[in-house]
Amino acid sequence: MFRKKAIASALLLGLAFALPAQAQSVLRVKGDGDIKQLDALFTTSYPTRDMAYLIFDTLFSVDANYKPQPQMVDKWSVSDDRKTYTFTLRPGLKFHDGAPVTSADVVASIDRWLQRDSMGMEIAKRRDSLTAVDASTFRLVLKEPFDRVIEGFGRMTAYPLFVMPARLAKTPPTEEIREFVGSGPFKLAASEWIPGVQLVLTKNADYVPRSEPPSALAGGKIAKVDRIERITFRDDMSAVNALLAGEIDYVSSVPPELLPVLQADPDIQWAKAPILGKNFQVIINHTQPPFNDVRMRQALQYLVNQQDMMTAIFGNRKDLYEICGALFMCGGPYATDIGSERFLNPSVDKAKELIKAAGYDGTPIVYLHPMDGKIQRDAGTILVAAMRKAGIVVEDVQMDTATMFTRRTNKGSPKEGGWNVFMTGFAGDALMDPLTNPFMTGACEKAWIGWPCDTEMQKLWQDFLLAGNDAQRREIAIKLQAKANEIVTYIPIGQYNDISAWRKNVSGMVPGPILTLWNVQKTR
Whether residue 491 contacts residue 195, with contact meaning beta carbons closer than 8 Å, is answered with no
Q: Is residue 167 very low, low, confident or very high in pLDDT (cuts 50, 70, 90)?
A: very high
With cut-offs at 50, 70 and 90, classify the pLDDT of residue 518.
very high
Q: What is the pTM of this model?
A: 0.77
135 SS3 class? coil
57/210 Cα distance (integer angstroms)? 12
User: Which pLDDT value is given to residue 319?
Assistant: 85
Half-sphere exposure of 242 (CA within 13 A, CB side): 24
Q: Dmax over Cα atoms in the chain, in whole Å?
A: 68
Tell me what the mean pLDDT of segment 509-523 comes to: 89
For residue 347, count other CB atoms closer than 10 A to its CB: 15
What number is the average pLDDT over the span 223-232? 97
Catalogue all structural domains in the chain, each as residue range(s) with its CATH number.
2-203 (3.90.76.10), 275-497 (3.10.105.10)
**In this predicted model, what pLDDT tens digit does every residue of 434-449 receive, in sequence order?**
988 999 999 999 999 9
Cα–Cα distance, 40 to 48 (Å, whole number): 6
